[in-house]
Amino acid sequence: ETNAMIRRVGERVAAVANQPAYEWEFAVIQDDKIANAFCLPGGKVAFFTGILKHTQSEAGVATVMGHEITHAIQRHGVERISRGIIEQVAQVGVIAGAASGKVDPRVAQGVLSAYGVGVSLPFNRTQESEADFIGLQLMAKAGYDPHEAVGFWERLSGCPSKMIGKLCFRSGAGIPEFLSTHPSEETRIKNIERWIPQVMKFYTPPPGSPPPAPPAKSLS
């Protein structure tokens, strides 16, 4: 089940983040039109179902989970302008209620969709790059192959890394919400490919796992 899988991956990634003061909770918002996820200060994490067609696996979910948990533990939200605090307080309550089963998921979905969660208070590109790098470390420590992160970002962008900036172009209207305020696809994927050798030292595959993918070859 989707909720159980998101919770399972979230708990693994949160465990290696080693932040006992955080009360981690994980919720799924049923909205296939929104490809997004977010983590509010304190550890309330939510995934819109629209992003799951891009994650495709637990490793893909771990890519997003590591990224969002990093925003929380690095206190990126505190660094932002304080507009929208009232909305954030309301959202924390709704997510907590949905995660605990005390709030009807349909009600939670309506409230969160109405607020446009994760879009109204964007992080800057420096924070996004930090979330990518530390998130990659977290997924590796949690036992997910960091190479899988490249595939997720390629699927989300709609372009394989070897084509980005060359023959693959997209209109701004088609960009998923999760990418709308983030670094360019080309910059992000190149950074991740460059960081993978550094973070592989943290990766211990679970018993029975296939060997990690070979490093990507640059065609430039």
Whole-angstrom Cα distance, residue 140 to residue 125?
A: 23
**52-111 pLDDT per residue, tens:** 999 999 999 999 999 999 988 887 555 554 445 445 555 566 666 666 666 666 666 665
Alpha-carbon distance 3 to 46, whole Å?
10
The yes-or-no answer on residue 185 being catalytic is no
Residue type, 20: P
The one-letter amino acid at 152: F
Residue 74 pLDDT: 82
The catalytically annotated residue of 1, 25, 58, 68 is: 68
Secondary structure (3-state) at 84 = coil
- pTM (whole model) above 0.85: no
How many angstroms separate the CA atoms of 107 and 125, rounded? 33
Q: Look at the block and give the residue holding tokens 């065609």.
A: 219
